[in-house]
Structure 1
Amino acid sequence: MRYLPLTAEDRNAMLAKIGVNGIDDLFASVPADKLLKAPPVLPNAKSEMAVEKIMTAFASRNVTASSVPFFVGAGAYKHHVPATVDHLIQRSEFLTSYTPYQPEIAQGTLQYLYEFQTQVALLTGMEVANASMYDGSTGTAEAVLMAHRVTRRSKAILSGGLHPHYTDVVHTISKMAGHTEVAMPADVDGSEDLIAKIDGETSCVVVQNPDVFGNLRDLTPIAQACHKAGALLVAVFTEAVSLGLIKSPGEMGADIVVGEGQSIGNALNYGGPYVGLFATRQKYVRQMPGRLCGQTVDAEGRRGFVLTLSTREQHIRRDKATSNICTNSGLCVLAFTIHMALLGEKGLRKLALVNHANAVKLAEMLAKVKGIELIQKNFFNEFTIRVPGSAASLLEKLAARGILGGVPYSRLSPNAELKDLLIIASTEVNTDEDRTALVSALKELV
């Protein structure tokens, strides 16, 4: 009872309130083969030193991204993060001021959030950005909800090139809100006709660029078609470094731009925490979720920073809030801001060029391997190949050779017809030796 203070009666009352018969019903959506049939076999007690030894042994079984040739992407990318970034974010004045609940007291926090917003607005080609979202996927769902508020419509069209996990998050939010979504089939080569799907009930079209398969798209015609129909274009990205080279979504007519900022300043971290970037046009700023920091002057004329807009449920608007997001990814934002400041505009462009050159070099090498089909002609640092048989099985064989060769599309979406697709990313961290190792292994395995 010390650790489980609720009585059997308490638990039964809660189960009855939510309409289930027992605790097992709470796990009904978990596949049966993933549920434990019995408690794990663990010793009752060990000393602290013994536990550390056991856990270290468990951890040593992991293959880290830095220890082998690594070509995994599909929404999370291995980039070099300068040591300066980690050093600065661990300073006590940054580490302890995570998020501005009493904003005007934490001027330093507000200032770097303001600078982050400026960076994101410039990066995306938009007029205003917020102080971040949790990650790219939840940010995309928030963008769809925002488009519904702006247009007073409730139908979203989702590109078949949108990352399947992002599509799943939008689907969950739409289902709970009673909204309609039209999810296009997987668009492997970037040939889908989204414009034909737009009608008078469409709130927004959601398009990823570069998309999950690596295709680069010109969003301008889609934006024009959206605006003609009174809808909004939501542009999504998962690779922030790409914005250093390709035309910005704002320049192509996007109304809301949202994406994942992990690539800049933030390590892979087993999938999180990450940082969602969110930007829009000035006329929609009051429908934007999350926080917005602004610059002002105090009574004595000194520059200061304030929480300009914060239409969240924890502030004044309560049930009328534009979003229920309860915070921003403060420390990840700081890492992003520091890394971006270290790069500067010229540095970001150079980094993007190196990424693209590395990917082109690898794609040209793979195109010469018998049995491999290179699908994309235009891409940034990620592309898709078609291999004989199962891409997932091929990756297991590569992993046995100490090479993490990419992401099988079947891992993201269980489409049996696309089980032969392998998504490969090549960033600035990949060397000629890495590329040779992957190509040589595939020549033997394919």
Structure 2
Amino acid sequence: MKHRYLPMTEQDRAEMLSAVGAESVQELFKDIPENIRYQGDLPVSPALDEFALTRHLSALAAQNADTQRYVSFLGAGIYDHHIPSVVGHVISRSEFYTAYTPYQPEISQGELQAIFEFQSYICELTGLQVANASMYDGATALAEAGNLAAAATRRKRLVVSRAVHPEAREVLATYAHGLNLELVEIGQRGGRTDADALADAITDDTAAVLIQSPNFFGAIEDVLGIAELIHRRGGLMVVSANPLSLGLLEAPGKLGADIVVGDAQPLGIDGSFGGPTCGFFAVAESYMRRIPGRIVGQTTDRNGKRGFVLTLQAREQHIRREKATSNICSNQALLALAASVYLSTMGKRGMVEVAKLNLRKCHYAKARLAAIPGVSLPFAAPVFNEFVLRLPDFKMEQLQRKLLEAGFIGGYDLSRSYPELPGHILIAVTEKRSKAEIDQFAVVLEESLCVK
């Protein structure tokens, strides 16, 4: 059998021990007190040959409910979108997937150009003038936006909507604690940020209002109205956006947002059981030098030929730590490339079409599922590709199990993050869902709810 790796022989082991002057492997741990060392052999299965190991791992992987074998209506931040095959082909090229940080522009032109294109696409989508080379994910991008707003306004108060993704709010809270920022959460009303409570919470020392649109409940927020509220008090407007929705919705930058962030996962990045993903970060030009991470710029060489360089690197690796805008030490260049390939493949017309498909299929599913006896729609706000259902008295875990048995990955149980919403489920519908799948899901859901 052909080996993918060379196993260690006893001779190899003896030679290495001899080289370090040890009699046995156990001697390597002699500095660890014997009373806290594990005695004996670990209770693990015996070694498997390559064929048996491959079968064992395949059997373990088969226990996962993946989107190849199941029809997914689960969103809540990770979505089952179609990924054109060209995306995988391009990012699998060795010069991309083995590339490291492009410190030497003269030998990294392809990587730098790819990042530059990503930045350009993000600026066009968000309606802002400057975007960075990407962030770790949407949650850290939102937290960094709060950091930027506090530094730019020299204020210590951030107001965030509870309709923002719960995990993003947790990351924001972690950042705020470390930076001694006050974080105020505003509740939702009708599935959208409570406008009256928000207006009361904004003070003269508020650095920024942070919202998500479409928000965690799938509802589209009044970005323009909220921007006017915070700008009256001299603060900044931060919007976390679903980039795919911007194929239809007005760019947040044109509605008054000063900072637009989000997660690029809907743009050709596989869900991969929750990550990794890629965050994007765009700002108005006046905040360019405060942007976290790096910016790739376009220039010309001595012969007038177009080239690309790292224009701004305002992070602690490159400048004095106390002057750094952030301690982000890398980005998601490979996944940013995936997003760029997706966007260039779809083009403007394709982005509009796929956004329309998400919208139309979501609204069809919303009406179809709401027609099930006992099921209702608790929120009336306009939505993009997610919506909330209120279910009759039913154990959510039991329901999810029944859906899974029928071949469906159900929605997100909102009571996990919002205890005040028991029996509410968040349903996501992407362009991949067919009418037949939606109809069958409705049938299975109705049958499951009827069985106590």
Is the TM-score greater than 0.5? Answer: yes
Selected match of 2:204 from 183, 200, 213:
200
SS at match of 2:408: coil
The structure 1 segments of at least 4 consecutive aligned residues displaced by more than 3 Å after TM superposition are 1-9, 185-188, 390-393
Matches of 1:5 and 1:405, distance apart in 2? 49
SS at match of 2:310: strand
How far the C-alpha of 1:104 sits from its partner, in A, is 4.2
Q: What is the match of residue 221 of structure 2?
A: 217
Query: What are the within-5 Å matches in structure 2 for residues 33-48 of structure 1?
Result: 41-48=43-50
Q: What is the match of residue 293 of structure 2?
A: 290
- Is 1:402 the counterpart of 2:376 in the alignment? no
Query: Is 279-288 or 364-373 further displaced after alignment?
Result: 364-373
Report the CA distance shift for 1:107/1:354 in structure 2 as closer, same or farther (over 3 A). same
Q: Deviations over 1:407-432 (max 9, x none)?
A: 11133x1x433121100010110011
Task: Report which of the two structures shows the higher radius of gyration computed on alpha carbons.
Answer: 2
CA RMSD of aligned residues (A): 2.2
- Is 1:360 the counterpart of 2:384 in the alignment? no
The one-letter amino acid of 2:391's match is: V
Matches of 1:145 and 1:248, distance apart in 2? 23
Matches of 1:115 and 1:158, distance apart in 2? 31
Report the CA distance shift for 1:191/1:278 in structure 2 as closer, same or farther (over 3 A). closer
How far the C-alpha of 1:275 sits from its partner, in A, is 0.4
Q: Deviations over 1:19-51 (max 9, x none)?
A: xxx99xxxxxxxxxxxxxxx9853142223222
Query: What are the within-5 Å matches in structure 2 for residues 237-386 of structure 1?
Result: 237=241, 239-377=242-380, 378-386=382-390
Matches of 2:138 and 2:390, distance apart in 1? 27
How far the C-alpha of 1:97 sits from its partner, in A, is 2.0
Report the CA distance shift for 1:173/1:433 in structure 2 as closer, same or farther (over 3 A). same
Query: What are the within-5 Å matches in structure 2 for residues 397-436 of structure 1?
Result: 397-411=402-416, 413=417, 415-436=418-439
Q: TM-score, normalised by structure 1?
A: 0.89
SS at match of 2:159: strand
Matches of 2:108 and 2:91, distance apart in 1? 15
Matches of 2:131 and 2:433, distance apart in 1? 32
How far the C-alpha of 1:188 sits from its partner, in A, is 5.2
Report the CA distance shift for 1:6/1:63 in structure 2 as closer, same or farther (over 3 A). farther
Question: Which consecutive unaligned segments of at least 5 residues does structure 1 have?
Answer: 10-21, 24-38
Q: What is the match of residue 100 of structure 1?
A: 102
Question: Which consecutive unaligned segments of at least 5 residues does structure 2 have?
Answer: 1-24
Q: Please tell me whether the aligned partners of residues 100 and 110 of structure 1 are also in contact (alpha carbons under 8 angstroms).
A: yes
Q: Please tell me whether the aligned partners of residues 186 and 193 of structure 2 are also in contact (alpha carbons under 8 angstroms).
A: no
Report the CA distance shift for 1:259/1:61 in structure 2 as closer, same or farther (over 3 A). same
Matches of 1:5 and 1:337, distance apart in 2? 49
Report the CA distance shift for 1:325/1:68 in structure 2 as closer, same or farther (over 3 A). same
Q: Please tell me whether the aligned partners of residues 256 and 279 of structure 1 are also in contact (alpha carbons under 8 angstroms).
A: yes
Q: What is the match of residue 233 of structure 2?
A: 229
Q: What is the match of residue 14 of structure 1?
A: none
Q: Please tell me whether the aligned partners of residues 135 and 278 of structure 2 are also in contact (alpha carbons under 8 angstroms).
A: yes
How far the C-alpha of 1:187 sits from its partner, in A, is 4.7
SS at match of 1:354: helix
How far the C-alpha of 1:279 sits from its partner, in A, is 0.2
How far the C-alpha of 1:8 sits from its partner, in A, is 3.4
Q: What is the match of residue 53 of structure 1?
A: 55
The one-letter amino acid of 1:435's match is: I
Matches of 2:88 and 2:272, distance apart in 1? 13
Q: Deviations over 1:137-183 (max 9, x none)?
A: 01111110011110011111110110100001111111122211012
Report the CA distance shift for 1:422/1:319 in structure 2 as closer, same or farther (over 3 A). same
Matches of 2:193 and 2:227, distance apart in 1? 16
Report the CA distance shift for 1:6/1:200 in structure 2 as closer, same or farther (over 3 A). farther
The one-letter amino acid of 1:388's match is: P
The one-letter amino acid of 1:396's match is: R
